[in-house]
Structure 1
Amino acid sequence: MKLFSCFKREGKLYSSNNGVSGPKYLEQYSEHFESPHKILTNEWRRKLISNSGNSRFKIKYYGKRHDEYPSLIVSENFSPLKISVVDILTDDEILLFDGSIHGYNALFCDKYTLEQLNKRTESEIYVSDENQDTFEVIISTIHSINYNEEFIDEVEWIYDINQWR
């Protein structure tokens, strides 16, 4: 059982090594794998592994389960979502997503008070409908917005993944 079942397919396997760059902070915790789901040309997809080489994790989060789609974890009470995984063998934690520093809203839109940020303790452990609390984690990011073109008239300088422009 995976957190999201979109990767459950039978048939041909596709390599996750398509040359697309992913989040730099996750590169040391990821590896290529054979996927049963075709990878998009603008997608980065990897299997999460810990420093010890383990690929089984518990998922900790600050947020709530979506009412209509309970397999989704969403933010709550105007505080940004935060999700980490814990290696079940070593208890080492890996930050997967922090809505206050990752993504479009953190980069261009939202600002948070110290109170909002400090109260976010990842005290919830994700448990599936089948009562599983340990998972292999597949990370997928899709790059679809060209910030250079979208904001070029609004700012003098913008930093993309490699340089100031």
Structure 2
Amino acid sequence: MSMLGRHLDVTLDRAEAFELQCGMQPYLPVMGTLLGAVIGSLGTFLIQRSAFMRERRSRLFDARRAACLTMLSAFHQQYLRLLAADKLHADEQDRIRAFREIESHEGQSALDGLRLVIDGEPARLAREFWQHLRGTPFAKGRDTRINDWKTSYWSKRDEFFVAVNHYLAADI
């Protein structure tokens, strides 16, 4: 027998011995299929999870932006009501009574809605902004220095805008 023949016999004998020892030969195709299924399922899961997280971030971003716009709109309506009441009432007692009668539930509700989806600096500034609209002497009808109050209003509004823009930009 040639050297090649003996080598083939030894190789075949080793393969047969391996097959007998392991008994795995019939299961190898099934194991490959199962491994492929596990890897495919894991890949699909990771892709779906990534898509879900991306959609969740997008929805939260939209909710935050909508809450900010709702709050700004409600606060501006409050601002306009205060200006109108200031123009209509010159007498101090009438002013105080008129300012107390201005409804604030829309603005408070908008602030609460914002605080449900935004925290940190924008939420703090929104509270200060609302306090300016409801708690200052002018907002209570006790002060007639409207120009200082208006300047402060626009300053607080701009400060809130900057904080929200930074907050939302970090969210993207």
Higher helix share: 2
TM-score grouping bracket, smaller chain normalisation:
under 0.3
TM-score by length of 1: 0.25
- Indicate the structure with greater strand content: 1
- Which one has a bigger Cα radius of gyration? 2
Instruction: Provide the TM-score with structure 2 as the length reference.
Output: 0.24
